[in-house]
Amino acid sequence: MRTAVYPGSFDPVTNGHLDIIERSSRVFDKVIVGVLNNADKSPLFTIDERVEMLRGVTAHIDNVEVDSFTGLLVDFAKMKNASVIVKGLRAVKDFEYEFQMALLNKALNPEYETMFMMTDSKYSYISSSMVKELAGFHGDLTGLVPAEIIHKITQKYKID
């Protein structure tokens, strides 16, 4: 049984993330989406909200599981009996950082392979930060994030 971990902040999950999850679920027996609970960052969504949104938008995929983690990714992968780390690559600008992370994770634990999946070109310009910036200006999020979470994002920017 080949299990992969797909880690990230997912603040919030985008259609680009969902595309990587769907495609990797066809390559691996099981995909565990690991949502980083990072105390240093101040995310828009709490860890519970991010996990819940991801569970909702991946409910149609049988072999996908969503869980949060703190600490090192390689420790989370070990705990989940995963042997592969899946990352999405959008453009050259992602490469340097991802290359460094992959090498560092390999140095931390050589048992794990990082595998990169190229984004679908129609999602190559989407990022969680762009989604948040656009939402802050009350822009249209259609097509950028799963339809069922649009109201959750716009709600965060509502002025009472």
Determine which one of 9, 17, 24, 87 is catalytic.
17
Residue from the set 8, 12, 16, 146 that interacts with ligand PNS by CB under 6 A: 8
Question: 72 and 79 in contact (C-beta within 8 Å)?
Answer: no
Q: For ligand PNS, what does the binding mask look like between residues 10 and 49, x meaning CB under 6 A?
A: --------------------------x-------------
Of 9 and 24, nearer to ligand PNS (C-beta) is: 9
Would residue 41 show up in a list of annotated catalytic residues for this protein? yes
Determine which one of 87, 106, 128, 158 is catalytic.
128
Is residue 120 helix, strand or coil? coil
The per-residue b/e assignment along 89-112, b for 16 or more CB within 10 angstroms, e otherwise, is bbeeebeeebeeebeebeeeeeeb
Residue from the set 104, 118, 130, 147 that interacts with ligand PNS by CB under 6 A: 104
Which of 22, 11, 121, 97 is CA-nearest to residue 63? Answer: 22
The most distant pair of C-alpha atoms in the chain lies apart, rounded to whole Å, by 51
Which residues are part of the catalytic machinery?
A: 17, 41, 90, 128
